[in-house]
Structure 1
Amino acid sequence: MVITSTIYEASFHYVQGTTSRDLWFALEQAYASNNSSREYTLKTQLLRIEMTGDETPIAYLNRAQEYAVALDNIGEPIKDKDLVMLVISCLREEYNGLKSTLLARSPPIVFNELHGHLSDHDFLFHKNIPAPTMVPQAFTTSTGVSSGLH
């Protein structure tokens, strides 16, 4: 049987039955994501989501979206506005100024727009960091001291 040839040995105890339908049903019961335990786990993970210190905005948004898609796949979709509020509320402190702007927007922001706003914020945030002071080489002498040209 094709089904049994693709199953890991550790899963054989879940595979009970004589027909392909029986085997498939047994696997679905053991591994299908549409049970209350899976729903609880996904909702808890989504409610506790936080943007970590070294996490990029896209990685953070992807992680949140994975939870939302998984919930949708088990028949428990989350509203877009709820996902947006959860994600915005748990952004790092550097996004505090952007949070109120995004939440006050009319019409309300949708999840798919968040990436662009966070990317724009990161560009502007990192652009304002002073660059190291450098004297162009044309204005220095061989000793590295400025030639005094103004």
Structure 2
Amino acid sequence: MLIISTVSESSCHHVQGNTAKDLWLSLERAYAPHTSSREYTLKTHLLKIEMKGDESPAAYLSRAQEYANALANIGEPFKDKVFVMLAVFGRREEYNGLKSTLLGRQFPVAFNELQGLLSDHDYMLGKIQSNQARLSLLLLIM
């Protein structure tokens, strides 16, 4: 009954059966069907993924990871190298320098390294913007 206790109310109507296996299979049929349509939809979402204007880097990578996980769950995983390239290309314009750096590396970046690199990049962007704001303030005062 652990499965039932973790299912949201809106999903309860999908849960059918008496055994844990039956419950699990009913959820799998509802949420992870392996059809050509599902595969096409997930791949299209991942190929067209872009970071939204107000989206944090962590939320963006989480969204990309959800698509990749869903594809892996239906037996259609992306290679890590391809997945990283898609995640990098979908970044906003202020990440263009990082995009060039990552794509120019001799050894490809693993997806699990990407979060740290993006955090470092965001820190540096914030530092540059902070220094520019201080410089502007100094110029106004003078």
TM-score bin (small chain): 0.7 to 0.9
Listed as ranges, the gaps of 5+ residues in structure 2 are 1-6
Mapping for residues 58-137 of structure 1, pairs under 5 Å? 58-129=58-129, 130-132=132-134, 133=137
Give 1:70 deviation, angstroms. 1.0
Q: TM-score, length-normalised on structure 2?
A: 0.73
Query: Using a 3 Å threshold, how does the CA distance of structure 1 residues 34 and 101 change in structure 2: closer, same or farther?
Result: same
Q: Give the 3 Å change call, closer, same or farther, for CA 108–26 of structure 1 in structure 2.
A: closer
Paired amino acid for 1:110:
A
Q: TM-score, normalised by structure 1?
A: 0.69
Percent identity among equivalent residues?
A: 53
| 2:34 corresponding residue in structure 1 | 35
Q: Gapped runs of 5+ residues in structure 1?
A: 1-5, 135-150
The alignment's C-alpha RMSD in Å is 3.5
d(CA) in 2 for partners of 1:69, 1:26:
18
For residues 29 and 61 of structure 1, the distance between their equivalents in structure 2, rounded to whole angstroms, comes to 24
Following superposition, the deviation at residue 26 of structure 1 comes to: 8.2
How many pairs align? Answer: 132
Distance in 2, Cα, partners of 1:26 & 1:120? 42
Q: Which of 1 and 2 has higher RCO (CA within 8 Å, sep 6+)?
A: 2
Structure with larger Rg: 1
